[in-house]
Amino acid sequence: MKTLEQHLSEYAKYHRDQRNIFTHYIGIPLIVFAFLSLLSRPAFEVTAPVVGALLLSPALFVWVIGNVFYLKLDVKLGLTMVVLTGVLLYIAQPLAQSATWVWLSVSIGIFVGGWILQFVGHHFEGKKPAFVDDIMGLAIGPLFVVAELGFELGLRGELQAKIEETSGAVH
């Protein structure tokens, strides 16, 4: 299995233009939200002793698997992803319980809008999206956004330096 640094460095090679990264700050959370919303049906409510009522859905399954992957790569970033994607899932579930036409039109609209932003960003970059060459780019994209935001806040400077050594600086 690749390391966190390897995954982020490979993904970063496709994302060195600040305008592209900025479009990803908005587009990727929109895509993740829409994806979780679309996967939040069917949902079955179960009662668990510790957590109370819980909605079981394909979205919850994907959320758990994805976050186990992130936690294995890096505990701090993984915990951040658990919280952030958990909030998106929490917000997506009520949308999925609305009328079918509302759920589908809003979710698909947000999904398409998020992808439009991605392709605008890659137009600025002049490179294709990372997932075209490596399907793992779809899973790494949300983690990349969180890592880049952390770098902008002055966090994880050593990781940022290693990524930039491999992929180049952001311009």
Residue carrying the six token digits 């060459």: 133
Residue-level pLDDT at 1 = 83
Close Cβ partners of 134 (under 8 Å, ≥ 6 residues apart): 10
| Distance of alpha carbon 154 from alpha carbon 143, whole angstroms | 17
Span 52-87, pLDDT tens digits: 777 789 999 999 999 999 999 999 999 999 999 999
Span 42-61, pLDDT tens digits: 988 888 777 777 778 999 99
Report yes or no on whether pTM surpasses 0.75: yes
Separation of CA 64 from chain center:
13
Residue-level pLDDT at 48 = 74
- DSSP H helices, the chain, are 4-12, 18-38, 58-73, 75-96, 100-125, 137-152, 157-167
Tokens coding 93: 């579930």
State what percent of residues in the chain have pLDDT above 90: 80
